[in-house]
Each structure stands twice: as structure tokens, then as C-alpha cells.
Amino acid sequence: MLYPLKKSPLATAISSISAGLLCSLSVNALAQSDSANAQNPPIEEIYIWGTEVKATSIDLGQEAIAIRQADHLSDLLRVIPGVDVGGAHSLNQRITIRSLDDKNLRISVDGANQNTYMFHHMGNLQIHSDILQSADIQVGNNSVINGGLGGVARFETRSAKDLLNPDNQFGGRINTTVASNDYTNLSGSLYAQLGPVVDILGYVNSVARDNYEVGGGEIKDADGQVIENTDGKVRGLEGDLFDALLKVGVDITDNQRFKIGYEAYKDEGDYSSRPDMGIATDVAIGNGESVLLPTEFTRDTLTLNYNGDWDNSSVEAAIYSNISTLERNELGKGRGGATYLQTGEATNNGFNILASHSLGNNITHEITYGVDVIAYDTEYYAFGENGNQLSTATEEATSSAVFIQDRIALTDKLAITPGVRYETWDIKSHLIDDSFSEPTFALALEYQLDKGLTFNASATQLFKGPELSEVFNGAGAGDVYNADIDPETGMNTEFGLAYQGSAFSAGFTAFETVIEDYIYDYINYTLYEAPFPKDNIGNMRLRGLEAYWGYATDNLDILLTYSSVDSKLSAFEEYAEMDYLVVDRAGAPVLDDDGNEQIIAQEGFDGARTDRKQGDTFSLMIDYAIPEADLKFHYDVMHVSSLPAGKDLDGATLNNEKDGYSVHNISVRWTPSKFAEGLALTFGIDNLFDEYYASQASRTGVSFHPVFGELFLTDYEPGRNIKGSVSYQF
């Protein structure tokens, strides 16, 4: 089901600055009045085990997600206009918003910052969707509250209070899922009210994965020919995932609550060395076979959250420690026969406070202010066969920000929201040892044109300091020091219209994001002089449109979305035209047959697009319920248009055109409450027509490598996947 966005002083203040504030889609909001909802809140919002997904434009209730049997973040987020999750490997859940990757986003779980650049061949967030209570995605940076360049992804894990019926003191759930392509999942939880003020939840989740088969059962190269030594299965995926959560809640008063949580996440297996690249690359580099390396990723997060809510004020605060570790044994199997064991660790410690106050009569103010502090520390170690330490490196940085905004309702139809943020970025790295500070400002306007029709516009300045280097590639030890590097700044401007009627809703957002002094990590193509020099190379401009159309009755929901974005770099003069020198593993120039140095001449970076750019994207989602039979049916399709070849940043060097695709999914959920309350049986088929495709937010295309020659990078998604789940909640 689709539910309306809940309004509170804090939520209203945050959402007011979003130029893309499109009305949410809701069965209850569309089929019933708000007063009826207040008297009869949907029971699913409290008790069902599902993840609520809400974004700038749409709000998907928990039931709409539960029926999808989400196993990967893409199952949760791809329905949101402007959002995709690239990477099919469990280590490579790479969120992109408006073609900007996860390094340019602010990502948190229970208020704990997750921005950890571990390895350029994997994503910055590893989490299993089953543990999530909600996912709140802000598409674009439209508020001084958020920071970052491209948007915000806030995830919240489950709590006992969200799951317990007020009449019960104890509950639990067990769920098992079996999928034909090719994993099993078993999770269990117990939660209880311990006395009048304390509640507790314990949760464990285990996933056993095998290597999946691509659509059509054949792995083909860029010319459509079956690749030798492949059988349709993608190697390097087989592994085990374990996720556990312990959370204690304490209601110190009726309107104040503490939550203490500890989450332990572990993903291990014999994985490919490049989880973001397709099996064709692994086979080529491995001389006809995939070279698999024992790999282990762990993430441990400890959080303390406080929530207080009064008549005209509210406060949210979080203190946290988040430690991510990636370890890989390459003894005798690494690149060039390297013999070492690598370990990288990234720690985020921090706290944030967000407060809101409402005041005034004829002209009302909703003032939101807060502070956000994050300390980043990274460490890298490499050990030889005898356990001797070969190398080590460390880096650190601290981000400190204070902000305030005021939503001023001048009339019952017109409101403006000015805001200011002051942020300091202190960094001690191999790239730069410096401190950067910048005030940023924002201004938004809302106007109720007519009953149900709203116009929104906003402009928000951007700021992001040079980030720490990726941890797993030496924690910056090979970086070229650049005392002249500047922080990225810029502006995000948006305007939108949204209409909410009794059964029909629609809206659109048009945006332009300009990132000045855009930082690029791979300027020099001398492959083994890595990590590559980093510098400001120009100004990146992104323009696009996101739209939705929704219709809902008591038992039928239809949601149609569209998104499009174009990106283009205006390169600085020194980077507009460049020649690249090809070198060998020792850094010596590679000579051609005539004894001359091999030079790769390119036009430079001017006019380049972001590598994660997608073609125009359409999605359709239909949900139909038969209440008398306790049945719900779901169908969705996503169509992504093809993208022609063009200059890009960090994409394939020989052929970077991207194939379009259409993927259909169906599912049905039966909750036989009349004779087995708490039981849910779900059956679905993902990729119904067995499409052979790769997300355009993943690695795609053909590149040239000076040692291995042509490499086909495309990271294909699973083919047809038949899956069934049985769960019992008591």
C-alpha cells in the first residue's frame, strides 16, 4: 500500500526546503479523508514487517515493499525517480542519485554516517534490506540541513516499539526465503516490552549465496559472442552474509525516548578481485578462469539516539561509532603474482543534533537548527607470506557543521524558507593537509496555487571538501600531494508542481546542479602510477526532470514515474586536451614496435558526462488487493533507454555505449488472517522474461588495458529468479 507523508514540525521544516516536494501517493490519502485516517490509522504502518520507502516525490508504505521480497537495496530504491543502485555483487551496492555516485551523497543508518570510501571496486554501503524499518531518500541537496552534493539516504533499522501491538508484551518473527537464482535467506527476531519503559529487540539474518545465472543463460561479449570458459553463471559471488542487531529502547517520559543499538554485519566468501566488474574481465585477467580471493567485509555500528517531541518543539540527536573493515588474502593470487594479505579499516565517529520549534500567530515560523560533527580515520596494512608487515598508511579528517533555517508562513498559501550552514573540513591526508571552511545559503518558496496544487522552488549552495583516499588501495600512500586542490562548491536549483486529488496525483521536478571545481581521482592514465593524481578539473553541470503520475482506489494503486538527467563537464584549460603515457608495472614507458613511447591521445575531459549516467528511465508499478481473500498482487516494470557512446569520466575507454533494457517483476502475497494470523506466504518472479541486462549505474562497456588488452567490464544482473518466502509473526 501507499501511505501519506506524516507531518510533524520537524518533518515539515525539513521537507519545506525541497523544491521537488511532490505530494505523496497514498491509498488512505486518496481514498479517505485525513480525518478518517486519524481515526483509523492503517494497522500495517505499525505492525507489518516491511520497509517504508519515502522520497522527495513518493512515499511507499511497508506493504508495498514487503511483497517484493527485497534482497538487495535495488529492490527498495529503483522505483524512486532519479535513484538507482548499481552493482549486482553483495559488496557493491552503489547508490546513485541523479547520476552522482555514493561518494557525493550523505548516507546514514540510525543517524550513523556511512560514507566510507573503502575500495573503488565496491560501493560505500553494505546493508541487507530485511533489517530496515525505513529508507528516506532526499533526491538532490535542497536543504542546509543535509550537506553533501547530490542528495541524502537515511536508513533506520527496526525497533521493538515499531513492531509490538500495544496489547502484547512479547513478539517475534521468523522468515525463510528460497530463490532459484541462487540464494537462501533465514532471519529471526524476538522483541519484548520489559516493564513500563524499556523495550528490546534482537535480530539475526543469514544469507547463503551461490553464483547466479544471467538472463538467457549465456555470457556474451560486446559483439554478442559467447565468451569462452563461461557457462552463463557469474563466478565470484558465492559467499555468506550475516547481520545481527540488538536494540534497547527506553521511554524516559511520554514524549522522550532513548535508543541504544549495536549492529554487526559480515560478508565473506571467495570473491572476485573486482566486485564491480563482470565475469568477462575476471576471465581475461585470470588467463581463462576467474581468480577468486578469500574476502571478508565487516561493519560494526554502535549508536545512541535520543528523540523528544513536545507541542511546538522536537529534538533528535545521535552519537555513534561506525567501523568498517575489508580484508583479502591475495597470497600467491594477486595481480602479477603479488603475495600479501591486505586489510583496510575505516572508522566514523560523530554526533548530530537536529531541533525544531514552531512559533507565531498570523505569521508562523518553523525554525530548524542543529550541529553535525564527523571524525573520519582510515588505516591500511599489507602483510607478506611470513606475516611481516610490508606497508601501512593512515589518514584522517573531521567535518563540523552548524545550520539554521526558518520556514516562514506569510499566509495560508505562501511560505518562504531561508537557511544558512557553516561547515569546516579539516583533512590530514597524503593528498592534502589543510582546512577548508565555507558558509552556504539556501532559499525556498512554496505557494498553494489551488486546492491540491502546489508550486515549489529552491536554490541551495553546495560545499564538499577533498575526501580521504580509498582505504583498500593503500589509504592514499601513493597519492600525489596537491597543495592547490580546492573544495567543491556550487548550486542546486529546482522548481516543481504537485497535485493531490481524491484519487489522482501527479507532479514533476526540474533541476539544475552545478558543481564547481569538480574533483576527479584518475587524471593520469599511467596505469601503474596509482593511485592516480587528483585535482579540480572543471565545472560539472547536471540538468534533468523527474515526474510521477498516480491513481488509487480502495484496492488498486498505480504509480508511473519518469526521470531524465544530463551531465556535462566544462573542463579547465589544462584538462581540456591531454595525452596519456602508457607504462608497465614498474612505471617504465611501454614502447611500440618502432621503439617509441606509446601515447594515448584523448580530447581531454571537456564535455565529459558522469560515468553513472543513465538513459531516460520509466517505471510502472501496479498493486491490487482482494481483502476478502487476504491476497495482494504486485507488478512492476522498469524501462531504461539506451545511451549512445560519449566522453565520460572513469567509464570504459573503447566503447562506453549502454544498452537499454526492460525488466518485469511479479509477486503475490497471502496473509490468511482468518485462520492463521501472523502467517504470510509470498511468491514472486523477478526478471520475468529473463532479460540479459546490466544496470546503467553499474560498470559497463569495453576498456583498453596496457597489460591485458581489451576488457569487457559489464556487470550483468541476475536472470529470471523465482523466489518464495514463508514468514510467521507473533
Note the pLDDT of residue 64.
63
Question: Domain for residue 2, yes or no?
Answer: no
Question: Domain for residue 466, yes or no?
Answer: yes
Write the CA distances from 311 to 8, 13, 334, 363, integer angstroms. 10, 15, 61, 18
Averaged pLDDT of the chain: 86
Residue 533, pLDDT > 70, answer yes
Question: Domain for residue 617, yes or no?
Answer: yes
- CATH number for 386: 2.40.170.20
Residue range 603-614: mean pLDDT, rounded = 89
- pLDDT level of residue 167 (50, 70, 90 thresholds): confident
Q: Please, are residues 568 and 13 in contact by the beta-carbon 8 Å criterion?
A: no
Question: Domain for residue 491, yes or no?
Answer: yes
Predicted structure pTM score: 0.88
Could you tell me where the DSSP H helices lie in 555-607?
573-576
| HEC sequence for 475-487 | CCCCCCCCCCCCC
- pLDDT level of residue 14 (50, 70, 90 thresholds): very low
Q: Please, are residues 355 and 368 in contact by the beta-carbon 8 Å criterion?
A: yes
Residues shown for the chain? 730
Note the pLDDT of residue 11.
39
Instruction: Give the DSSP letter of residue 267.
Output: E
661-707: per-residue pLDDT in tens? 999 999 999 999 888 889 999 999 999 999 999 999 999 999 887 67
515-526: per-residue pLDDT in tens? 999 999 888 654
161-175, 348-362, 411-425, 599-613, range with the lowest pLDDT: 599-613
Question: Domain for residue 3, yes or no?
Answer: no
Number of domains in the chain: 1
| Closest to 730 in 3D by CA, of 206, 174, 247 | 174
Rounded to a whole number of angstroms, the CA Rg of the chain reads 25
Which is it for strands 648-649 and 631-640: parallel, antiparallel or unpaired?
Answer: unpaired
Q: Using CA atoms, how far apart are residues 337 and 272, in angstroms rounded to an integer?
A: 15
Dihedral sign, Cα of residue 491, residue 357, residue 60, residue 66: positive
Instruction: Give the DSSP letter of residue 730.
Output: -
Note the pLDDT of residue 527.
41
Question: Domain for residue 1, yes or no?
Answer: no
Question: Domain for residue 211, yes or no?
Answer: yes
Q: Using CA atoms, how far apart are residues 113 and 350, in angstroms rounded to an integer?
A: 8
Query: Which residues span the domain enclosing 651?
Result: 9-729
Residue range 492-499: mean pLDDT, rounded = 95
**Grid cell locating 561:** 514515474
**CA angle, residues 369, 370, 373, in degrees to nearest 5:** 155
